[in-house]
Structure 1
Amino acid sequence: MNFKGCSRSAIEVLSGHMALKWQRRPGGVYCFNYHRIGSAADSEFDPNVYSCTPERFEQHLRMYQTNFDVISIDELISLHNSQQRVSERLALLTFDDGYIDNYQLAYPMLKSAGLTAVFFVSTDYIDKPQIPWWDEVGWIVRHSGNASVKLAHWPSAINIVDGAIGMRVRRLLKAVKQDNSLPMEEKLKQVKVALQLDHIGMPEPTELLVNWQQLKEMADNGMHIGSHTLSHNILAHLTPEQQLVELTQSKQRLETMLHREILSVAYPVGGSDTFTRNTLNVAQQAGYKLAFTFIPGINAKLGFDNRYSLCRFSIDENASVWQLKQMVNKSFSFMSN
C-alpha cells in the first residue's frame, strides 16, 4: 500500500487496521508460489520471474514459520481426502520452472529452516536444456532496436520501448500468451523476423535450469517434485489429446528419473484462461492427486471440487513481508470454496 500524502495519524490507523485484518485471517491452505530467487538486475532474460532476493526469501521463511504451519504435498492430499473445511492456517510453498537458483539458493535455505517445498518442472527443459520461451521474450525485448512489433494476425502493435524493462517484457508476453493461433516456437520465430533478430543467435542455456542429478538430490532430501508439463505450453491452446500427452508423459518421465510417484502438477502460466474444464479432467486421468493454478486465493474447503484447481499467491517484485501480508489480506473476499 502507498502511504504517500497520508498524515502520521492516518498511517497509524491504516497500519493498525491492516495488522488486525491479518490477525483475523481465516483458516485454510495458503499456497505461496515463487519462480526465481536472486536479483533481476543480473539477468539478460525476463526480469519478472525473479520473485525475491535471498535476503528477502529468508524473511519470508521466518514469517511462514511464525504465522503458519507449513505442510507438505502428502499432508495436503490427506486434507483433501478428508473433504473438510480447514480451520488451521496452513502454508504450502511452491516453485515453478526449475531454475538453477532453486537448487543453489532456495533449497539450502529451506533445509536450514527445516521446511519443505514443491518444485514444479517441465521435463523437456531438463532433458534438452534451452532458453525457456518467456525468457526468450525477455531477451528479444532487451536486444530489439525497434519501438514496437506486430505480427500479421495481431490487432495492434506492441510497444516494447517505453517504460521499465519489466513492463516492456510483460506487454510482449501478454500478446504472445493470448495468441492461440500458432505454436509458441512459431510465434517467437515470427517476432524475431519482424524485429530483424532472426540472424542473431540466442545465448547458451548454461546452468540456467536444474539438471536431473540436482533434482534427485532435492527429492531425496525432503523436497517434493511436481510436473509443470513437458514443454510449458499453455494447455488451453492445445487439443485434449495434446494435453494428455503433456500431463501424462511428464509425470512418467519424472517418476522414471526420480524413482518416486509424482503426485502434483502446476498448469503453465496458470491464469483462468490458460486451462479449461477438460484440463482438470485430464489431470485426474493422468493420475495426479492435486493440480495448481496461478489464481490468487485461500483454499478454505478442500475436496474433489477444487482438487485440480488449487489457488496460489504469486510472490513478485521482491515483495516485503508487509506487502506479502497485504496481498493475502486483499484476497479474503475471493476465497476458494
Structure 2
Amino acid sequence: MTGLSKLGIKTALNALYWSRAHEIAAPLTGGLGAILMFHHVRSARHGRFHPNRHLDVTPDFLGAVIRHLQQRDIDIVDLDEAMRRLAGSTPGRRFVVLTFDDGYRNNLTEAYPVLKAAAVPFTVYVATGLIDRTAIPWWDIVGEIVAHNPRICGRVGDSELDLPAGSVREKEAALEAVIRQLTTCDEDEQRRAVARMAAIHGVNARTLANSLMLDWEEVRAIARCPLATIGAHTVGHYALSRIDAGRARLEMEESRIRLFEAAGVTARHFAYPYGSASAAGPREYALAEELGFETGVTTQRGVLQGGEAPFALPRISVNGGFQAIRYIDLLLSGVPFALERGVKRLRGITSVAVVASASTR
C-alpha cells in the first residue's frame, strides 16, 4: 500500500468514524462477531523505513484492543465457541476471535504475555515449513533486502529489476515493485527469485528465519497453554490456488501431520495463506472440508453475520498502519465492508448497463 493510498483510506475511515454513521448502522451491519487477524506483535521499530508495516502491531496496542473489547462487553472466544454461536438459533452477545498467522516467535515472546495476563483465548496458525526452516518468510526477507541496500537488483522470471533504494521514498517504491513482481510470477520461481536476491544483497535467509520464526520447542510451549489453539497454515505458505490440486492437498494435509508429529497437536482449524479470493476459493474450501478440518479462515474482509460457510470465514486484518482504537470500532461495526460491497454491486450494475446500452446501438 503506497503512502498516498494509505492516506486516502485513513481520511475516508476517519471521516466515517467522526460522522458517527457507523454507530447508527452497526445494529444492521455489525453481525454476530468477527475474527481479527494479526501477524507480528513486537515493539515499534526504529528508523523511518518500516517494511511490511501492515503486518506489525505493538504489544501495547494488542493489550489496548483486548481491554477495549472487554469494556464494550464483547466476548473474546476461541474458534469452537465462535462456531457454536454462529450455529445458534438465537443471537447472543457479540464476540471476537483473536488469530495470529504464520508462526512468528514474537507471538510467544511479545503477544503471549499480553494474552495470558488478560486470560483470553487465541489461535496461532503455523506454517510448518517456516518452523522446519524448509520454507522462508520471503516477504520479510525482501523487506530486509530493501532496508539494507541502496539499490535493488535481481531477476524475477523474465523481468530484470534495477531499482534505486537510497531514500525512504525510494525504498517504499522499490519494495512495492519487487513484491508486485513476486506475487505475479510462478510460486516456485517466486522463492527462487527471493533466494537469488538475498544472495546478491548479502541477506542470509536462514539466519533471518531463525531470528523471526518459532522453533518446535516454542510451538510446543504455546500448545501447552490452555488458552491456545494451534491451527494449520500449510507447509510452504504458498498461494494454494496457484498450485495444482494434488499439491495443494498435500500442503494442507502434511502441515497437519507435521504439527502432530513435532508438537503433538491435532490441528482442527486451517488458515489459507494470503487468503484472498484469488489465493483461495471453492477448490481450497472443498479440500479443507475433505481433509477433516472444522473451519477455514480467509483474509477476505468482513464480520460474521451468521450463515457463513465454515471453510470460507472472513477476517478483519489489524493493520499496523492503523493502530488506533477508532479503526477497530469502525471495522467491527461492519459499515466499511457494507459500503465496499455496495460499491462493488454498483460497479457491476453499471457494467451491465453499459453492456446493455452498447448492445442496442
Q: TM-score, normalised to structure 1's length?
A: 0.82
Residue 30 of structure 1 corresponds to which residue in structure 2? 34
Write the letter of the residue equivalent to 2:221. Answer: E
Rounded Cα–Cα distance in structure 1 between residues aligned with 2:69 and 2:131? 30
Instruction: Give 1:2's match in structure 2, choosing from 2, 11, 29.
Output: 11
Q: Is the 8 A contact 2:187 2:238 kept in 1?
A: no
Rounded Cα–Cα distance in structure 1 between residues aligned with 2:64 and 2:84? 29
Q: Is the 8 A contact 1:294 1:312 kept in 2?
A: yes
Alignment of 1:113-262 (within 5 A): 113-128=118-133, 131-146=136-151, 151=156, 153-154=158-159, 161=165, 163=169, 165=171, 168-180=174-186, 182-191=188-197, 196-197=200-201, 201-202=204-205, 204-205=207-208, 206-221=210-225, 222-262=227-267
Number of equivalenced pairs: 322
Q: Is the 8 A contact 2:187 2:239 kept in 1?
A: no
Q: Is the 8 A contact 1:251 1:262 kept in 2?
A: yes
Rounded Cα–Cα distance in structure 1 between residues aligned with 2:63 and 2:164? 34
RMSD of aligned C-alpha atoms? 3.2
Residue 93 of structure 1 corresponds to which residue in structure 2? 98
Displacement after TM superposition at 1:37 (Å): 1.1
Q: Is the 8 A contact 1:119 1:224 kept in 2?
A: yes
Q: Is the 8 A contact 2:153 2:197 kept in 1?
A: no
* Inter-CA distance 73–137: structure 2 relative to 1 (3 Å threshold): same
Write the letter of the residue equivalent to 2:263. Answer: L
Q: Which runs of 5+ in 1 are unaligned?
A: none
Q: Is the 8 A contact 1:297 1:331 kept in 2?
A: yes
Displacement after TM superposition at 1:256 (Å): 2.7
* Inter-CA distance 150–259: structure 2 relative to 1 (3 Å threshold): closer
Q: Is the 8 A contact 1:37 1:51 kept in 2?
A: yes
Alignment of 1:31-70 (within 5 A): 31-39=35-43, 41=45, 46-48=51-53, 50-67=55-72, 68-70=74-76
2:212 is paired with a residue whose SS is coil
Rounded Cα–Cα distance in structure 1 between residues aligned with 2:111 and 2:24? 31
Write the letter of the residue equivalent to 1:178. Answer: T
* Inter-CA distance 217–136: structure 2 relative to 1 (3 Å threshold): same
Displacement after TM superposition at 1:201 (Å): 4.0
* Inter-CA distance 37–235: structure 2 relative to 1 (3 Å threshold): same
Displacement after TM superposition at 1:286 (Å): 1.6
Mapped pair 1:102 → 2:89: no
Write the letter of the residue equivalent to 2:11. Answer: N
Q: Is the 8 A contact 1:103 1:214 kept in 2?
A: yes
Mapped pair 1:266 → 2:266: no
Displacement after TM superposition at 1:122 (Å): 0.7
* Inter-CA distance 114–165: structure 2 relative to 1 (3 Å threshold): farther
* Inter-CA distance 176–105: structure 2 relative to 1 (3 Å threshold): same
Instruction: Give 1:71's match in structure 2, choosing from 77, 90, 94.
Output: 77
Displacement after TM superposition at 1:200 (Å): 5.7
Rounded Cα–Cα distance in structure 2 between residues aligned with 1:290 and 1:13? 32
Write the letter of the residue equivalent to 1:316. Answer: N
Q: TM-score, normalised to structure 2's length?
A: 0.77
Q: Which runs of 5+ in 2 are unaligned?
A: 1-9, 342-361
Displacement after TM superposition at 1:88 (Å): 3.9
Q: Is the 8 A contact 1:266 1:293 kept in 2?
A: yes
Q: Is the 8 A contact 1:86 1:302 kept in 2?
A: no
Q: Is the 8 A contact 1:32 1:93 kept in 2?
A: yes
Instruction: State the percentage of identical aligned residues.
Output: 20
Q: Is the 8 A contact 1:149 1:160 kept in 2?
A: no
1:331 is paired with a residue whose SS is helix
1:262-307 residue CA offsets vs partner (Å, 9 max, x unmatched): 111111111111123211111112211100111110121235xx21
Rounded Cα–Cα distance in structure 1 between residues aligned with 2:213 and 2:288? 25
Alignment of 1:247-326 (within 5 A): 247-302=252-307, 306-318=309-321, 319-326=323-330
Rounded Cα–Cα distance in structure 2 between residues aligned with 1:132 and 1:213? 19
Rounded Cα–Cα distance in structure 2 between residues aligned with 1:22 and 1:49? 25
Select between 178-187 and 316-325 the one with higher mean Cα deviation.
178-187
1:230-260 residue CA offsets vs partner (Å, 9 max, x unmatched): 1111111211111111100111111233334
Rounded Cα–Cα distance in structure 1 between residues aligned with 2:18 and 2:283? 44
